[in-house]
Amino acid sequence: MTDLTPELAEIIARRFAVLGEPTRLRLLNLMHAAGEASVTELVEATGGTQANVSKHLGVLLGERMVTRRREGSRALYQIADPTLIELCDEVCAGLRDQLRELSSVIEDGTGLRA
């Protein structure tokens, strides 16, 4: 990690806080799969309300994690920062490894005794 000044730590913490909301992670995942998506498409895919999806998109937009473009009366959103997907992929890979290890300990019957 780079020299972590208090200001940089604050920015990083804010980014992780934004990503700490499951609905926002789902929206990013959907946009990653689709390339870009409208609010209507994201509402249908998540089963959320238009107001809730729009609120979360507003947070992502405010943090410059997504971009928005107009196409007629539709607003289309897409991921602005591809490192977000790389980060999520790394976290998922780490969790898969941890689950595999825990599963093997449980199956062996040798682990986690007090």
- Chain segment 51-84, per-residue pLDDT in tens: 999 999 999 999 999 999 999 999 999 999 989 8
CB 32 within 8 A of CB 85: yes
- pTM given for the model: 0.79
Position 60 scores a pLDDT of 97
Q: What's the whole-number mean pLDDT along residues 38-47?
A: 96
CA 28/CA 24 separation, integer angstroms: 6
Position 105 scores a pLDDT of 78
103: which DSSP letter? H
Percent of the chain surpassing pLDDT 70: 94
